[in-house]
Structure 1
Amino acid sequence: MSKVDKLIKNVYKELECSEYIIDHSNTVYKRTKDITKYYNNVDKDLIKAGAKLHDVGRTVTNGIKHAYIGADLLRDLDVDEKICKITERHIGAGISAKEAKDLGLPDRKYIPKTLEEKIVAHADNLVHGVKFVDIDFVIKKWTKKGMSQESIDRLIKLDNELMNR
């Protein structure tokens, strides 16, 4: 078993992750491969760990706060900060400082910066439960949920950036 696989297994056990969190995260990891095929310069182990651990905060809450809570849970387990940042920044195509304040989130940076952060965030966007979806599905879903045009525009920009469109 690789070092990354051991880390993932240990975190799942320590945080008592549900089958759903694990299944969804495995699907997100599979989805990352549709994006990483366009890149030679990505850390695939980091993407694997980030994708498989991005939703560990859902062991505490299914609300938007699961991202920073998950990152803090990983920090408490001394997980590499790069993985913690992926977890913290994976919501949608990121959350602006104003949106974070309006949502009552701690004052942190929630916009994915690194290529690996962007890939995991967008792979998560392109998965609904355990099913692959396309960008049009996500736009419709976000529109129905009343997401801001700013968030939808950020989603489209991220999709264009990553998916070689």
Structure 2
Amino acid sequence: MNMKTIDDVFIHLLSDTYSAEKQLTRALKKLAREASSEKLSAAFAQHLEETQGQIERLDQLVERESSVKIKRMKCIAMEGLIEEANEVIESTEKNTIRDAALIAAAQKVEHYEIASYGTLVTLAEQLGLKHAVKLLSATLEEEKATDIKLTDLAVSNINPKTQAK
């Protein structure tokens, strides 16, 4: 995509983020299956539901803002982050060590999404897209909350169990 205006940058980042969320829905199903901890599996399942809602918000944004059209593209960064999670699965047994590594991989994804949505909110504000700001800000807050939940789960539940081995 040839970017010549700030609108083009917004559309590019929005399209990339849309692709990232779509890829993540497939990955979260696998992460939920591959976690040994029921709590971690449930956290991944809950985040899958949130991610589906986030995709719906992006769809609402596009429907509401006539100047915004999502381009078909593939988020290479998310593809790489998901590949890292797959490498964790392939190189570990299904136990608390894998769970700790999966949390780390999931938090990389969350930090990427926090950066993406933070930038999208700022661009939407600058472009005067008030409804988009509201939708994107809601998703940004969900991503931050998920990151905190993953940290709490790691610190209070998963990581202490790895040290017992």
Q: TM-score, normalised by structure 2?
A: 0.29
More helix by share: 2
Name the structure, 1 or 2, with higher relative contact order (CA <8 Å, separation 6+): 2
Greater radius of gyration (CA): 2
Q: TM-score, normalised by structure 1?
A: 0.29
